[in-house]
Amino acid sequence: MIVYELRCDTGHGFEAWFRNSDAFEQQRDAQQVTCPVCGTCEVTKAPMAPRIGKSDRAKPEQAAPAGQPNQEQMRVVMTQIAELNRHIAETCDYVGAAFPEEARKIHYGEAEHREIYGEASREEAVALRDEGVTIAAIPWIRRSDS
């Protein structure tokens, strides 16, 4: 297993584990690696400093760049996102790519009201909001065999 420091195209930094370098490349190319903060699939490896040797001294917490959360804050956020994902999966109907169509049917009373989740492009989300359909973009942590 290898851990990579990753960065999305909007500047959010995070780390992820992969089986090997090829696994990262394959998952990134398949858009399975997403930023946990904004959800974009435009992710690249960030420069990393190697960790060499072990020390008996406690290492100080590395300061995050200005405006960026530290690793402990990211762990807390990722845990909260995972819990939100679990709650949504347990209490809502997954409609996949049919989300925009299903949301419209519910909004206009053509289908019985129920809580749903799925995928929509940015353009589809904007169109739904313009029509007055209440939606929320939720970061989704895709679980895969890294």
Domain contains 144:
no
Span 32-52, pLDDT tens digits = 888 888 888 899 988 765 555
Range 104-133 average pLDDT:
94
Span 13-34, pLDDT tens digits = 888 888 888 888 899 999 888 8
Q: Count of domains in the chain?
A: 2
Q: What is the pLDDT of residue 146?
A: 47
* The overall pTM is greater than 0.75: no
**Whether residue 89 is found in the same domain as residue 135:** yes
Domain contains 43:
yes
Range 98-106 average pLDDT:
96
Q: What is the DSSP string of the chain?
A: -EEEEEEETT--EEEEEESSHHHHHHHHHTT----TTT--S-EEEPP-----S--SSPPPPPPPPTT---HHHHHHHHHHHHHHHHHHHHHSEEEETTHHHHHHHHHTTSS----EEE---HHHHHHHHHTT--------------
**Whether residue 88 is found in the same domain as residue 122:** yes
